[in-house]
Chains A and B, each alone.
Chain A
Amino acid sequence: MDYKYIEQLIERYWQCETSLEEEEILHLFFQQKDVPAHLLRYKDLFCFEKEEKELKVSDDFEAKVLEKIEKPVVKAKRISISRQIMPFFKAAAVVAIILSLGNAIQKSSLGEENDYNYENYTDTYTDPQVAYDEISSALQDVSEGISKSKVLEDTDTLVSTTPATKELIKE
Chain B
Amino acid sequence: MSVTFVQLTRHYYREMQQISFRNDILPLKDKLFRLAFRITLDRAEAEDVVQETLIRVWNKKDEWKQLDSVEAFSLTICRNLSIDRSQKKEAQNVEFNEDLHDRVDSSNAIDSMEHKEKMQIIRRLFDNLPEKQRSIMQLRDIEEKSYKEIAEILDITEEQVKVNLFRARKSIRQQYIEIENYGL
Asked if B30 and A57 sit within 8 Å, CB to CB, the answer is: yes
Residue of A nearest to B118 (CB): A44
Give the residues from 125 to 183 in chain B that come closer than 8 angstroms, CB to CB, to chain A: 126, 138, 140-144, 146, 162, 165-166, 169-170, 172-173, 176-177, 180
* A 40-59 to B, binary, CB cutoff 8 A, 1 in contact else 0: 01101101110111111110
Q: Are B33 and A14 within 8 A (Cβ)?
A: no
Q: With a CB–CB cut-off of 8 A, which chain B residues contact A48?
A: 118-119, 122-123, 126
Are A41 and B170 neighbours in the complex by a CB distance under 8 Å? Answer: no
Most buried by B among A24, A48, A68: A48
- Quick check: which of B12-20, B50-58, B62-70, B88-96 contacts chain A, the rest being far away? B50-58
Total residues of chain A contacting the partner, CB 8 A? 29
Are B169 and A14 closer than 8 Å at their CB atoms? yes
For B33, the chain A residues whose CB sits under 8 A away are 55-57
B107 within 8 A of A: yes
A51 CB to closest chain B CB (Å) equals 6
A132 within 8 A of partner (CB): no
- Give the segment of A15-23, A73-81, A97-105 that binds chain B: A15-23
A-side interface mostly: helix
Nearest residue (CB) in B for A47 is B119
Kindly list chain B residues whose C-beta atoms are within 8 Å of the C-beta of A62: 26, 29
Give every chain B residue within 8 A of A47 (Cβ-Cβ).
119
Contact status A51-B169, CB under 8 Å: no
**For the complex, is A90 an interface residue (Cβ under 8 Å from B)?**
no
Provide a sorted-by-A list of 27 A–B residue pairs whose CB atoms are within 8 angstroms. Answer: A14-B166, A14-B169, A14-B170, A16-B165, A16-B166, A20-B144, A44-B118, A44-B119, A45-B122, A45-B173, A45-B176, A48-B119, A49-B142, A51-B109, A52-B34, A52-B138, A52-B142, A53-B34, A53-B142, A53-B143, A56-B33, A57-B50, A61-B29, A61-B47, A61-B51, A65-B26, A69-B21
